[in-house]
């Protein structure tokens, strides 16, 4: 967008030239007519200033740092790049891929650089043909094909390549052993999400691990009261669990932390409401 100061300077020049060219005619005008013309010009300028004032400058997201092949960073980096593209109105798939390939560098044993170089070699012939194309681009009719059909396809390929089998195995081990214990659910969830992104597990498997990892009493409530099944979305499990935990904490706050218990001989059973505070 052209700065308001530049536009105002331009208008000032135009107005000055206009009145200079009509200097003789202006002298012959009456005072009242001069005031009418002057007021009209002033109102015109004020309307332009108001129009620009009502349109604040669009905030731009800064371009993310280069990606160096970290398996725990690949998905987050792709998300940041998508945010950057959307914020800066970069909507063409090939422009997105072009920019992203130029930001994948270095890494352990130069792994990220080697992957990017391989994709760039495939991209260059397509890029040359693409730049010469006028109007709408039809990839199916082009001689040289791009390495990825879309930016989304590129992010999927990156995840498959950089999240190695070793990384997945480590993430799965972490998920299997992960327990909520006495932590708040949000703290457990934060760690759970980190490892689930690297595990490669589907939604049903992740729900099973989530249910086993949270406090047993909370898991019981989700099944018996929340009526949740393993086929329900993981996010729904988390949101309902969060709601139950929040309600429990409010009850403890209001009634001083008393817990209902049942006696069965010498065994004291905790209520299903007995979940972390």
What's the average model confidence in pLDDT over 76-101?
93
Would you tell me how many other CB atoms lie within 10 Å of the CB of residue 11?
A: 14
Taking the C-alpha atoms of residue 172 and residue 155, their distance in angstroms, rounded to an integer, is 22
Q: How far apart are CA 244 and CA 238, in angstroms?
A: 10
Predicted confidence (pLDDT) per residue in 220-255, tens digit: 999 999 999 999 999 999 999 999 999 888 888 877
Distance of alpha carbon 146 from alpha carbon 128, whole angstroms: 11
C-alpha to C-alpha distance for 88 and 93, rounded to whole angstroms: 14
Binning pLDDT at 50, 70 and 90, where does residue 269 land? very low
pLDDT band at 194 (very low <50, low <70, confident <90, very high): confident
DSSP string, 81-123: HHHHHHHTT---HHHHHHHHHTTB---GGGHHHHHHHHHHHHH
Q: What is the mean pLDDT of the chain?
A: 81
pTM score over 0.85: no
Residues 253, 255, 257: CA angle, nearest 5 degrees = 70
Distance (Å, whole) CA 69 – CA 79: 15
């Amino acid at each position: 967008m052209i700065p308001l100061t530049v536009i105002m300077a331009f208008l000032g020049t135009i107005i000055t030239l206009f009145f200079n060219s009509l200097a003789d005619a202006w002298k012959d005008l009456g005072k009242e007519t001069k005031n009418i013309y002057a007021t009209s010009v002033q109102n015109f300028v004020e309307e332009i200033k108001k129009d620009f004032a009502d349109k604040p400058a669009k905030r731009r997201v800064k371009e993310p740092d280069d990606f160096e092949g970290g398996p725990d960073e690949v998905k987050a980096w792709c998300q940041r790049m998508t945010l950057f593209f959307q914020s800066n109105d970069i909507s063409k798939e090939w422009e997105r891929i072009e920019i992203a390939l130029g930001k994948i560098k270095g890494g352990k044993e130069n792994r990220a650089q080697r992957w990017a170089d391989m994709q760039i070699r495939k991209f260059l012939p397509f890029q040359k043909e693409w730049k010469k194309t006028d109007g709408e681009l039809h990839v199916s009719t082009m001689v040289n094909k791009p390495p990825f059909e879309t930016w989304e396809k590129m992010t999927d390929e990156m995840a498959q390549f950089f999240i190695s089998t070793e990384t997945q195995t480590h993430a799965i081990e972490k998920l299997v052993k992960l327990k909520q214990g006495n932590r708040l659910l949000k703290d457990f969830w934060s760690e759970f999400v980190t490892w689930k992104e690297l595990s490669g597990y589907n939604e049903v498997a992740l729900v099973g691990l989530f249910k086993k990892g949270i406090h047993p009493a909370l898991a019981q409530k989700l099944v018996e009261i929340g009526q949740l099944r393993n086929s329900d979305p993981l996010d729904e499990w988390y949101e309902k669990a969060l709601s139950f935990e929040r309600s429990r904490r409010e009850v403890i706050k209001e009634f001083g932390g008393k817990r209902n218990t049942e006696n069965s001989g010498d065994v004291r059973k905790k209520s299903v409401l007995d979940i972390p505070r």
